[in-house]
Amino acid sequence: MDTEVDALRAVDDKPAKATRVAIIGCGGIAMMHIKLLKKIPGVTIVAGADILPAALERMKNEHGVTSLYEDYNEMLAKEGANIDAVSVCAPNGVHHAASIAASNAGKHVLCEKPMAMTVEQAQEMADAAKRNNVEFVIGFQHRFEPRSKILRDKIAAGDFGKILYVRAQALRRRGIPNWGVFGQKALQGGGPMIDIGVHIIETAHSIIGSPKPIAASGSTFTFLGDKPSTVNSPWAGWDYKTYTVEDMAVGQVRFDSGTILSVETSFVAHIEQDVFNIQIFGEKGGAIWESSQIFTDIGDYMVNVTPSFIGDWSMWDYKIQHFVDVVRGERKNEAPAEQGVSVQKILNGIYDSADAGCEVKID
């Protein structure tokens, strides 16, 4: 068996269970989900919902899906008997209502990141899944990378000792999304912190064993996205007129374990090049996530350790295969709702602190 993902697929020799998936929000990320779902034996895409007729047209033309709806509630009501699970790929502001509607209809849910726009929404989504006895998988993926697994395993084994400090960075030099509604606070909940910071936060949080966040302090800055720009960049042409989110957000979070997490995120930081990285500082060892380098002492010497092989699989294959396996009852949920809620508490704690101008407690 070459990879853990292959191992997941070869659960046994029985034919794959039939799994019927519907999509809510048939835009960019939905196409990725569909491509990967279709690779899994036994999975069919049975229906799709999107408010844009052009998106539904693409579902029909590119994926042969003919049960298409402009209203996901209508889809759930009419197609309910034919759906086992729903993938929520609509903008952040839709995650709460769509996930709860799917849970209430008795469907398992994969909800794209971030879980929601507020902690209250995220908690209600978690509660709805529990009440309806369905699985809720939050659409995080970087926790599934081999380089996340090795650090999570080492930390869980105590090899780094107590984790004192974690530095997480998701910084783009010039990368405001020029599609969708990513610049609109009312529909997204925020800018780089909630959009790309969520990735590096969920990864760091998962690597250190998902401790409970208890306080946050943060600041946000908007200085470029709300103005027209003539500067050449690969992602030029964002809609500055509707831009209401931050350009940069930084924060610090305390966990009940005593660990401190610092987070730096930006769509437009004046830096040499983009950074997407985590550094771990433990009492007995440290590490750089990006390169999988480990720093520790052996005997009387300080050593730098670079693993020769950490595994080789795609986080995206893992994410989608994991969801299907969870729906089929063949695998424990490794991205459960309660961890989505914890990450939401970190995100909103930083935003709340930025609004308040002081550290805020997290319940």
Q: Interface residues with ligand NAD (CB under 6 A)?
A: 24-30, 49-52, 55, 72, 89-92, 94, 112-113, 139, 141, 179-180, 195
Q: What Cα–Cα distance (Å) separates residue 359 from each residue in 217, 250, 355?
A: 4, 13, 10
Q: Residue 116 or 294: which CB sits closer to ligand NAD? A: 116
Query: Beta strand pairing status for 136-139 and 108-112?
Result: parallel
CA atoms within 13 A on the CB side of 64: 4
Residue 82 CB, nearest approach to ligand NAD (Å): 18
Q: Residue 179 or 223: which CB sits closer to ligand NAD? A: 179
Q: Give the whole-angstrom CA distance, residue 142 versus residue 46.
A: 28
Residue 37 CB, nearest approach to ligand NAD (Å): 14
Q: What are phi and psi of 276, to 5 degrees?
A: -140, 95
Residue 351 CB, nearest approach to ligand NAD (Å): 16
Q: Residue 55 or 208: which CB sits closer to ligand NAD? A: 55
Q: Residue 214 or 275: which CB sits closer to ligand NAD? A: 275
Q: Residue 146 or 177: which CB sits closer to ligand NAD? A: 177
Q: Give the whole-angstrom CA distance, residue 283 versus residue 310.
A: 23
Termini Cα distance of the chain: 44
Residue 101 CB, nearest approach to ligand NAD (Å): 10
Q: Give the whole-angstrom CA distance, residue 34 versus residue 91.
A: 17
Residue 198 CB, nearest approach to ligand NAD (Å): 8
Cα 171 versus chain centre, distance: 16
Residue 53 CB, nearest approach to ligand NAD (Å): 10
Q: Residue 27 or 307: which CB sits closer to ligand NAD? A: 27
Count the residues in the chain: 363
Q: Are 165 and 286 in contact (CB under 8 A)?
A: no
Q: Residue 30 or 155: which CB sits closer to ligand NAD? A: 30
Residue 11 CB, nearest approach to ligand NAD (Å): 25
Q: Is 208 helix (H, G, I), strand (E, B) or coil?
A: coil
Residue 93 CB, nearest approach to ligand NAD (Å): 8
Handedness of CA 230, 231, 234, 240 (dihedral sign): negative
Q: Residue 43 or 89: which CB sits closer to ligand NAD? A: 89
Q: What Cα–Cα distance (Å) separates residue 113 from each residue in 122, 180, 290, 316, 337?
A: 11, 15, 21, 13, 11
Which residue lies nearest ligand NAD, judged by its C-beta? 27
Q: For residue 41, say if its preceding peptide bond is cis, omega within 30 degrees of 0.
A: no
Q: Residue 120 or 283: which CB sits closer to ligand NAD? A: 120
Q: Give the whole-angstrom CA distance, residue 69 versus residue 54.
A: 12
Q: What Cα–Cα distance (Å) separates residue 171 from each residue in 113, 178, 187, 195?
A: 18, 17, 22, 11
Residue 276 CB, nearest approach to ligand NAD (Å): 12
